[in-house]
Amino acid sequence: MIEKAIAELKKLVPFKETTELGDIVLILAEEGQQPTLIYAIVTGIERDPSRRDEWWHVALHLLSVPPQAVVWTLRTPQFTGQESFTMGGQARFIKALRIDRQQPTPPQPESKARGGLRLVK
């Protein structure tokens, strides 16, 4: 069931291929009949030295009410959205959002003929 939800999300949400410190991620959790979506900010990514393979402690601040700080130990494909995983028997998916930070275009002054505002320098 979670794979279908992931496919739908990938059509609707602009995702990044990587996950870095400061990224906003979308977390999909399969809990019961309805999947749950929550946003989080990545506040830390540190190598787990206790494991032979590459596992990472990924610190997240869940943007929930109240906000919660969590640390999940994940492999790179898991916290970059390349594969889903389970925690406590429940399916999960996490992937960073691509947020284009464009400068807003300032409003253009209206012409005097239409009685609009004029630009004063």
Residue pair 70/60 in contact (Cβ under 8 Å)? The answer is yes
Total domain count, the chain: 1
Residue pair 96/23 in contact (Cβ under 8 Å)? The answer is yes
Look at residue 110 and tell me if it is in a domain: no
Look at residue 114 and tell me if it is in a domain: no
Look at residue 33 and tell me if it is in a domain: yes
β-bridge mates for residue 95, sequence order: 26
Look at residue 57 and tell me if it is in a domain: yes
Look at residue 50 and tell me if it is in a domain: yes
Look at residue 67 and tell me if it is in a domain: yes
Which residues span the domain enclosing 47? 2-99
Helix, strand, or coil (residue 77): helix
Task: Give the full edge-to-edge strand order of the sheet including 24-31.
Answer: 68-75, 55-62, 34-47, 24-31, 90-96, 85-87
Q: pLDDT 10s per residue in the chain (121 long)?
A: 788 989 999 999 999 999 999 999 999 998 777 889 999 999 999 999 999 889 999 999 999 999 999 999 999 999 999 999 999 889 999 999 998 877 666 676 655 555 556 666 6
Look at residue 118 and tell me if it is in a domain: no
